[in-house]
Chains A and B, each alone.
Chain A
Amino acid sequence: MSAADHPILDPALAPPFPVAALPVLRNVQLRKNVAHAIDVIQAKRARLVEEKTDWQALRAAAAAIKDETLENLGGYLEQFEERCTAAGGHVHWAADAAEARRIILEILREEKANEVIKIKTMTSAEIQLNPFLEAAGVRAYETDLAEIILQLGNGEPSHIVVPALHVNRAQVREIFARTMGIENLSDDPMALTAAARNYLRQKFLEVPTAISGANFLVAETGGVAIVESEGNGRMCLTLPRTLITLAGIEKVVRRFQDLEVMLQLLARSATGERMNPYTSLWTGVVPGDGPQNFHVVLLDNGRSSILGRKTERQTLRCIRCAACMNTCPVYRQTGGHAYGSVYPGPIGAILTPQLEQLRHAQSLPFASSLCGACYEVCPVKINIPEVLIDLRARVTDQERHTAGKFFDPMYVGLRVANLIFARAWLFHFAQWAGRIGAKLVTRKDGWIHSLPSVGAKWTQTRDLRGLPAQTFHEWWAERKTASQQVGGSASLRAGDPTLSPEKRRKDGARDVGGSPPIISPKSGEQDGATSKEAR
């Protein structure tokens, strides 16, 4: 990948989504890698969710647990602080990324650390910790296999659970052979994994300081839980002298017992396993076992501003399983880098702009078809489409008030529409005028295939149905009179209103036995004649 193509995952600097997506859409290998990985996870997840007969009940419980925690977040965080401190931990609070980085560096300085080992944590990527530490003279070693691939290959994460899913085995082999200096390395994943194991073993045994994220903080006990697969997490949580855990404030759950719900949902949603190989929970400092110096940094960094908004608050239920991106038709095509943030996919499309308080990443809420697949798979029932629509409205409100947008064709059009829709007489007049105007551009098949001027953008990829000769109001009035005469009721039937036969073929949609004739409401009156088409 050339330097120009290097993905930028800083929302403040990243180009808008449609621009950032272009290099990926042209990269056939990358799209293949992404699609393959997603297909595998999706199939595994589907099988294991199906065997769970109480899946929906678990989702409902998880959503309720998270909602209740968020409602009382201040109290629960204080309780966590009290219990964790009582157990020998140190709790720090960081309002933003800079403060979190400063706190972490201070602890490292106290420890005189010039190296740290890290468990994969998206929160540390969010605050761009590694480059900061490097500039401060502390070398950070990532220990998750995918993170090693990215760190050694100078890559960027494209997924929150499998961050290197866009890299294939041949590319991993090349990176490892080059950076670890191994000749004759095979591209067998087994050999590559063994290479990573050897590369890190000494680091685990020698580096006395570790940094982790957190999956759950337990208010009731002051405990912290981390969910992982490889054992690199357990190494970092067990061997070093000092452990620093960076956790978003929304990670807290009220009770130890709440984990009975969360743990059942998380692994199935994330990797399609009944349980991930290792889940660790520890509480402060346990004498004789594990790090004897333990710090938790609680990070706000925009989260409290999400908390204050009714519709958007549900964003903070997220347990970072990535099921939404695995199922998303947009993510499937673009991969993660296009989102210009360490949080890609549907959750990234709502989380990133909110963390940025809509100062950046305004294009992300529009990077969705609103198909709702993400909501359906979300283990904590975040209604992502609902939040997307809300954010779109906020972005539009923000944009409307910026200079230069007043004469933007879209805003002019919407203002005119606003005027018309608010007045019945004007609406009827517009319908009448529209029918006359539309006749000029409507083809014989009853569809408008291309509009003039700014409308051409719309018809580039879509057809517009020509206006019928009769409005609904007119038809309804006529039908009422007719049915009163007959004494029965006619039913209204319509075909697919969005696609003309021509565009259907253009889009490659399957055409079964010739396209069904599109019928206008008018022909729907002749009930018998149309019933066979209405399926």
Chain B
Amino acid sequence: MSAVTDGRKKVLEAIRAATAGSASRNGGATAGTAAEGHVDIPRDYVRRGDMAVSARQERFVERLKEYDAEVMECEPNGLAAAVAAQLAASGRRRFVTPEGLPPEWLAPGFEWKIDGNLDISDVEQAEGVVTACFCGVADSGTIVLHHGPAEGRRVITLLPDWHLCVVRASQVVETLPEYFDRCREQGTGNREQRARKLPKLVTWISGPSATADIEMTRIKGVHGPRFLNVILVKD
């Protein structure tokens, strides 16, 4: 399709003409080096926090609650009981989970659907979802999902109205940049090789779905889950 390539050529030529003289890596041949050119960015902002572990956990809980998430803390050996208690307290029966959750989380007495490739309508009918996560960020009360095993496809944490997320204290970092450091630590080799190991899917969740579109009144629950419950495991 020549029209398509024409648009590409036109846009790139206009950009090249506009940036001529200002760019070092503007040639197509050297485009692949973009990931390495980060010499001149002043990064004087707080990259690593300095809070003690307990203070960091407290901050995480406080910030989650501030955005209407419910938080429960437990010891590692009390986790299965905590999950069961949360499920019971929710008053819901039908739950969906991703593959890869520890079987002891799937408390008896509830209806469980394990998502491999469930129909959307099955997911839609679930009243709640239970997952783990990749990371928690204390500074903003954020839970990060990479949608790997135990976190599940994006749709399962979207359609059910109630999301129970288990976060281990060791997964909680203080600042957002620390989360990005953890992502880079996943890969090995040079920057280029590590770049290929970066997550393909990420969802940062900070409290339940919300809107303030009508007179700036914050309303919890529009299209995403209306309820976000978190169990913080003090491991």
Q: By the criterion CB–CB under 8 Å, are A238 and B155 in contact? A: yes
Q: Cβ of A273 < 8 Å from any Cβ of B?
A: yes
Q: Cβ of A40 < 8 Å from any Cβ of B?
A: yes
Of the candidate stretches A300-308, A346-354, A408-416, the one touching chain B is A300-308
Q: By the criterion CB–CB under 8 Å, are B180 and A260 in contact? A: yes
Q: By the criterion CB–CB under 8 Å, are A286 and B200 in contact? A: yes
Q: By the criterion CB–CB under 8 Å, are B222 and A79 in contact? A: no
Given A37-B216, A82-B31: A74 and B4 interface contact (C-beta under 8 Å) = no
Q: By the criterion CB–CB under 8 Å, are B34 and A205 in contact? A: no
Q: CB within 8 A of A308: which of B10, B17, B153, B210?
A: B17
Please measure, in the bound complex, the distance between the C-alpha atom of A70 and the C-alpha atom of B117, giving whole angstroms. 42
Q: CB within 8 A of B7: which of A70, A94, A305?
A: A94
Q: CB within 8 A of B158: which of A60, A149, A235, A257?
A: A235
Please measure, in the bound complex, the distance between the C-alpha atom of A193 and the C-alpha atom of B219, giving whole angstroms. 8
Give min CB distance, B131 to chain A, whole Å: 14
Of the candidate stretches A196-204, A440-448, A480-488, the one touching chain B is A196-204
Q: By the criterion CB–CB under 8 Å, are A193 and B141 in contact? A: no
Q: By the criterion CB–CB under 8 Å, are A277 and B205 in contact? A: yes
Please measure, in the bound complex, the distance between the C-alpha atom of A304 and the C-alpha atom of B117, giving whole angstroms. 44
Given A61-B44, A79-B32, A220-B198: A307 and B18 interface contact (C-beta under 8 Å) = yes
Interface residues on B, range: 35 or more
Q: By the criterion CB–CB under 8 Å, are B153 and A78 in contact? A: no
Q: By the criterion CB–CB under 8 Å, are B31 and A75 in contact? A: yes
Q: By the criterion CB–CB under 8 Å, are A279 and B204 in contact? A: yes
Given A78-B28, A197-B223, A273-B206: A41 and B216 interface contact (C-beta under 8 Å) = yes
Q: By the criterion CB–CB under 8 Å, are B183 and A93 in contact? A: no
Q: By the criterion CB–CB under 8 Å, are A277 and B67 in contact? A: yes
Give min CB distance, B158 to chain A, whole Å: 5
Q: Which residues of A contact B198 (CB under 8 A)?
A: 220-221, 223, 256
The CB with the most chain A CB atoms within 10 A, among B19, B158, B214, is that of B214
Q: 0/1 per residue, B191-211, Cβ < 8 Å to A?
A: 000010011111111111111
Given A234-B223, A283-B200: A54 and B213 interface contact (C-beta under 8 Å) = no
Q: Cβ of B142 < 8 Å from any Cβ of A?
A: yes
Q: 0/1 per residue, B20-36, Cβ < 8 Å to A?
A: 00111111101110110
Q: By the criterion CB–CB under 8 Å, are A238 and B219 in contact? A: no
Please measure, in the bound complex, the distance between the C-alpha atom of A155 and the C-alpha atom of B23, giving whole angstroms. 43
Q: By the criterion CB–CB under 8 Å, are A78 and B31 in contact? A: yes
Q: By the criterion CB–CB under 8 Å, are A205 and B120 in contact? A: yes
Please measure, in the bound complex, the distance between the C-alpha atom of A449 and the C-alpha atom of B205, giving whole angstroms. 60
* Closest residue of A by beta carbon distance from B41: A64
Q: Which residues of A contact B16 (CB under 8 A)?
A: 74
Q: By the criterion CB–CB under 8 Å, are A165 and B42 in contact? A: no
Q: Which residues of B contact A76 (CB under 8 A)?
A: 31, 34
Q: Cβ of B51 < 8 Å from any Cβ of A?
A: no
Please measure, in the bound complex, the distance between the C-alpha atom of A193 and the C-alpha atom of B217, giving whole angstroms. 11
* Closest residue of B by beta carbon distance from A298: B11
Please measure, in the bound complex, the distance between the C-alpha atom of A165 and the C-alpha atom of B117, giving whole angstroms. 41
Q: Which residues of A contact B184 (CB under 8 A)?
A: 257
Q: Cβ of A366 < 8 Å from any Cβ of B?
A: no
Q: Cβ of B140 < 8 Å from any Cβ of A?
A: yes
Please measure, in the bound complex, the distance between the C-alpha atom of A423 and the C-alpha atom of B139, giving whole angstroms. 62
Q: Which residues of A contact B46 (CB under 8 A)?
A: 53-54, 57
Q: By the criterion CB–CB under 8 Å, are A277 and B210 in contact? A: yes
Q: CB within 8 A of A249: which of B15, B139, B179, B210?
A: B15
Interface residues of A in 142-201 (CB under 8 A from B): 143-146, 149, 162, 164-165, 168-169, 172, 189-190, 192-193, 196-197, 200-201
Q: Cβ of A65 < 8 Å from any Cβ of B?
A: yes
Q: Cβ of A219 < 8 Å from any Cβ of B?
A: yes
Q: By the criterion CB–CB under 8 Å, are A189 and B217 in contact? A: yes
Interface size on A, residues (CB 8 A): 99
Q: By the criterion CB–CB under 8 Å, are A36 and B177 in contact? A: no
Q: Cβ of B168 < 8 Å from any Cβ of A?
A: no
Q: Which residues of A contact B224 (CB under 8 A)?
A: 230-231, 234-235, 277-278
Please measure, in the bound complex, the distance between the C-alpha atom of A305 and the C-alpha atom of B14, giving whole angstroms. 8
Interface residues of A in 54-99 (CB under 8 A from B): 54, 57-58, 60-61, 64-65, 68, 70-79, 82, 87, 92-95, 99
Give min CB distance, A428 to chain B, whole Å: 45
Please measure, in the bound complex, the distance between the C-alpha atom of A273 and the C-alpha atom of B117, giving whole angstroms. 35
Q: By the criterion CB–CB under 8 Å, are B41 and A256 in contact? A: no
Q: Cβ of A451 < 8 Å from any Cβ of B?
A: no
Q: By the criterion CB–CB under 8 Å, are B176 and A264 in contact? A: yes
Please measure, in the bound complex, the distance between the C-alpha atom of A239 and the C-alpha atom of B121, giving whole angstroms. 11
Q: CB within 8 A of A256: which of B22, B142, B180?
A: B180
Q: By the criterion CB–CB under 8 Å, are A277 and B183 in contact? A: no
Q: Cβ of A261 < 8 Å from any Cβ of B?
A: yes
* Closest residue of A by beta carbon distance from B195: A220
Q: Cβ of A289 < 8 Å from any Cβ of B?
A: yes
Give min CB distance, A93 to chain B, whole Å: 4
Please measure, in the bound complex, the distance between the C-alpha atom of A261 and the C-alpha atom of B158, giving whole angstroms. 26
Q: Cβ of A259 < 8 Å from any Cβ of B?
A: yes
Please measure, in the bound complex, the distance between the C-alpha atom of A274 and the C-alpha atom of B121, giving whole angstroms. 34
Q: Which residues of B contact A289 (CB under 8 A)?
A: 147, 153-155, 201
Q: By the criterion CB–CB under 8 Å, are B19 and A189 in contact? A: no
Give min CB distance, B1 to chain A, whole Å: 9
Q: By the criterion CB–CB under 8 Å, are B158 and A238 in contact? A: yes
Q: CB within 8 A of A275: which of B154, B206, B219?
A: B206
Q: Which residues of B contact A36 (CB under 8 A)?
A: 215-216
Interface residues of A in 267-320 (CB under 8 A from B): 271, 273-284, 286, 288-290, 298, 300, 304-305, 307-308
Q: 0/1 per residue, B85-98, Cβ < 8 Å to A?
A: 00000000000000
Please measure, in the bound complex, the distance between the C-alpha atom of A200 and the C-alpha atom of B223, giving whole angstroms. 9
Q: CB within 8 A of B222: which of A145, A283, A304?
A: A145
Given A57-B44, A230-B209, A280-B202: A162 and B147 interface contact (C-beta under 8 Å) = no
Q: 0/1 per residue, B136-148, Cβ < 8 Å to A?
A: 0101111000010
Q: By the criterion CB–CB under 8 Å, are A40 and B216 in contact? A: yes
Q: By the criterion CB–CB under 8 Å, are B201 and A282 in contact? A: yes
Q: Which residues of A contact B117 (CB under 8 A)?
A: 288
Given A234-B158, A259-B180, A277-B67: A249 and B216 interface contact (C-beta under 8 Å) = no
Beyond known contacts A239-B120, A275-B141, A277-B224: 10 more, CB 8 A cutoff: A57-B44, A61-B43, A68-B38, A149-B214, A223-B200, A229-B211, A229-B222, A235-B158, A277-B208, A281-B202
By Cβ-Cβ distance, the 7 closest A-B pairs, closest first, are A231-B224, A308-B18, A231-B223, A304-B14, A230-B222, A274-B140, A275-B206
28 contacts between A and B (CB under 8 A): A58-B45, A64-B42, A68-B37, A72-B37, A74-B19, A82-B31, A146-B213, A162-B216, A164-B214, A193-B221, A197-B223, A219-B35, A229-B209, A229-B210, A231-B222, A232-B222, A235-B224, A263-B204, A274-B140, A274-B141, A276-B206, A277-B206, A278-B224, A279-B203, A300-B10, A304-B14, A304-B18, A307-B19
